[in-house]
């Protein structure tokens, strides 16, 4: 492995902007350098292999060409990474897989009906395998360009990459971003109310304990999504932010994520998941804001919801962890973000012998905090009641390194920009004692950062009904 120190900048976006237009450019952005999760930022582009899953087929593209397989996408990813397995690396990522796993990839794991409209029209999985990456360490204030120089393209580009990241001048945005229509939702209040009461009936009948119900917002847009992401990271900094630019001859869309939630982390044999359940809005009035936080911390309903999902996640990670190693280390911690307060719990375990990070990811996918309990029945109800398939929303984004380490988020507070439109979801868990008006307001609280983004670029957020 070769590691070259390059120019450090406290704002890593200035470094990523230099490669933002490259094929499959990805930026895993900690968003909050001062937080415990904000030490490292990771960026890369030009993967030497690409795995793209559409329905039952996964395309694997590399210098040999393109082949298609109907095998399990998670197994295909394991096979693709296997030849490059390395010992534990010094930095969190020194090459490996970076990409996304859409919520609808769950159809390759579980069998549930196809009812909702697939309007996203995007792959269920897109993962690149990268031979080089730039890793920014905000604690030490140093940046490292790392590679194993396994492929001729990287060898040819290495000196140019070093020069590029040492360039003192920052790139200029090429095309301004703007919203060109009013915002719409795929569920007005009446439609949301109907779905809400249907879930309450399912709960009363004993079908489920909790179901995560979400609505989708959309608006027409034009210009450079990177500019929109820069605004989003200013409006709503979060520890598991992501920008991904998938532009090539077949695919054009951008991912803008301000996720506050870790899905799964593997470091060595240590496993961690940090489910979020429980939300209150922030207030500019400090007294009211503190009262909201206190109310959340002392809400029996929210703590019960959180504990329900903790139990689900304990069960899920136990499928790939050593018997007796799974523990709920820290329950109901208050974490405050730009627009909301959350209750966050931490569940840990020890990866079992013979199990990999990808095995764990498959065993837990999709995250229980954004489905409900029991998971499969909740997903069937979501499919029945939400007008559109979720696409990436509530899936996961992150990396799996050549060393076997992994870190992924839950893709909430996440927008897709494609086909001249920006789309994002917001939802919340419905339980037996949920109240309609409060649950609907909570979705708007969670969407508030995205709504602010729409407003910043000229959009009208007075919601209009949109037909499924």
In the structure encoding, which two tokens stand for residue 54, read together? 């559409």
Terminal CA-to-CA distance of the chain, rounded, Å? 51
Rounded Cα gap, residues 152 and 31, in angstroms: 33
Rounded to the nearest 10°, the torsion over CA 397, 401, 405, 409 is: -10
123 within 8 A of 53, measured Cβ to Cβ: yes
Reference 395, options 52, 123, 104, 109; nearest CA is 104
The secondary element (H helix, E strand) that includes residue 277 is strand 276-281
In the structure encoding, which two tokens stand for residue 374, read together? 């029991």
Rounded Cα gap, residues 89 and 77, in angstroms: 20
Please state, in angstroms and as integers, the Cα–Cα distance from residue 323 to each residue in 12, 189, 267, following that order: 41, 46, 18
Query: Is 70 exposed, middle or buried (CB count within 10 Å of its CB: 0-12, 13-18, 19+)?
Result: exposed
Q: Tell me which residues are annotated as active site.
A: 261, 277
Reference 321, options 367, 375, 266; nearest CA is 266
In the structure encoding, which two tokens stand for residue 420, read together? 């001249």
Q: Which residue has the tokens 């905090």?
A: 369
358 within 8 A of 85, measured Cβ to Cβ: no
432 within 8 A of 441, measured Cβ to Cβ: no
418 Cβ contact partners less than 8 Å away, ≥ 6 residues apart: 122, 252, 253, 254
């Amino acid at each position: 492995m070769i590691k070259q120190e390059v120019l450090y900048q406290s704002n890593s976006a200035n470094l990523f902007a230099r490669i933002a237009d490259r094929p499959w450019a990805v930026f895993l952005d900690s968003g909050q350098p001062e937080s415990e999760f904000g030490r490292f930022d990771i960026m890369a582009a030009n993967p030497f292999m690409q795995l793209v899953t559409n329905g039952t087929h996964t395309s694997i593209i590399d210098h040999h060409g393109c082949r298609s397989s109907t095998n399990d996408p998670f197994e295909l990813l394991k096979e693709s990474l296997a030849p490059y397995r390395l010992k534990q690396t010094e930095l969190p990522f020194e090459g490996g897989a970076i990409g996304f796993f859409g919520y609808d990839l769950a159809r390759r794991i579980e069998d549930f009906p196809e009812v909702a409209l697939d309007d996203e029209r995007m792959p269920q999985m897109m993962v690149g395998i990268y031979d080089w990456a730039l890793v920014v360490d905000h604690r030490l204030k140093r940046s490292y360009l790392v590679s194993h120089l396994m492929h001729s393209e990287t060898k040819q580009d290495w000196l140019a990459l070093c020069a590029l990241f040492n360039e003192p001048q920052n790139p200029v945005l090429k095309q301004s971003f703007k919203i060109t229509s009013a915002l719409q939702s795929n569920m007005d209040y009446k439609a949301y109310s109907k779905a809400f009461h249907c879930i309450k009936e399912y709960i009363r009948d004993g079908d489920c304990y909790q179901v995560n119900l979400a609505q989708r917002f959309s608006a027409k847009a034009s210009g450079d999504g990177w500019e929109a992401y820069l605004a989003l990271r200013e409006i709503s900094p979060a520890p598991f932010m992501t920008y991904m630019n998938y532009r090539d001859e077949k695919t054009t869309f951008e991912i803008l994520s301000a996720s506050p939630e870790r899905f799964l982390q593997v470091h060595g044999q240590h496993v961690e998941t940090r489910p979020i359940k429980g939300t209150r809005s922030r207030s500019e009035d400090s007294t009211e804001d503190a009262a909201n936080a206190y109310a959340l911390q002392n809400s029996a309903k929210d703590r019960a919801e959180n504990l329900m999902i903790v139990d689900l996640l304990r069960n899920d990670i136990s499928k790939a962890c050593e018997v007796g190693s799974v523990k709920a280390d820290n329950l109901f911690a208050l974490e405050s973000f730009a627009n909301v307060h959350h209750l966050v719990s931490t569940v840990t375990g020890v990866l079992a012998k013979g199990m990999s990070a990808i095995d764990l990811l498959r065993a837990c996918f999709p995250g229980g905090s954004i489905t409900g309990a029991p998971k499969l029945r909740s997903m069937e109800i979501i499919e029945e009641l939400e007008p559109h398939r979720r696409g990436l929303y509530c899936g996961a984004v992150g990396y799996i390194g050549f060393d076997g380490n992994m870190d992924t988020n839950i893709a909430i507070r996440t927008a897709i920009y494609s086909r001249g439109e920006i789309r994002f979801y917001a939802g919340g868990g419905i339980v037996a004692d949920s109240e309609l008006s409060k649950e609907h307001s909570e979705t708007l609280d969670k969407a508030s950062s995205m709504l602010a983004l729409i407003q910043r670029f000229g959009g009208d957020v007075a919601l209009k009904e949109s037909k499924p």
